[in-house]
Amino acid sequence: MYKALIIFFMITNIVSAQVLRQDKQMHIGTTYALSATVTSLVYKKTGDKKKAMVYGFILPMVAGVAKEVYDINHGDPDVKDILANTVGSTLGIITIRITL
């Protein structure tokens, strides 16, 4: 019975391994990399953890919002992209904060 269910789910496309669309994954990954980079560079320059976290969150978010504003006239704007940017920026800060 279990084998029949496994084969059924493999044949049909009911179960999908990809929960997030590729576009959202790119937003999360890009803002994660920007956030981690900015946070570490600001901390290295100033030695202030709080300032590094603020800059590490705000700069990638500004870039993400600017991209969505650009998409209003030249693409497909999506509010969920800003949410994905928030997730990426937050994860970047958390990653670097752990190592400081």
Q: How confident is the model at residue 100 (pLDDT cuts 50, 70, 90)?
A: confident
Number of structural domains (the chain) is 1
Residue carrying the six token digits 């576009």:
23
Structural domain for 74, as ranges: 22-99
Which residues, 6 or more positions from 78, have their beta carbon under 8 angstroms from its beta carbon? 23, 68, 71
**Does some domain include residue 9?**
no
Q: Tell me: the pLDDT tens digits for 44-90?
A: 999 999 999 999 999 999 999 999 999 999 988 889 999 999 999 99
DSSP 31: H
> Residue 11's pLDDT is what?
63
The predicted model scores a pTM of: 0.78
Task: Note whether residue 4 is domain-resident.
Answer: no
Q: Please check whether residue 3 lies inside any domain of the structure.
A: no
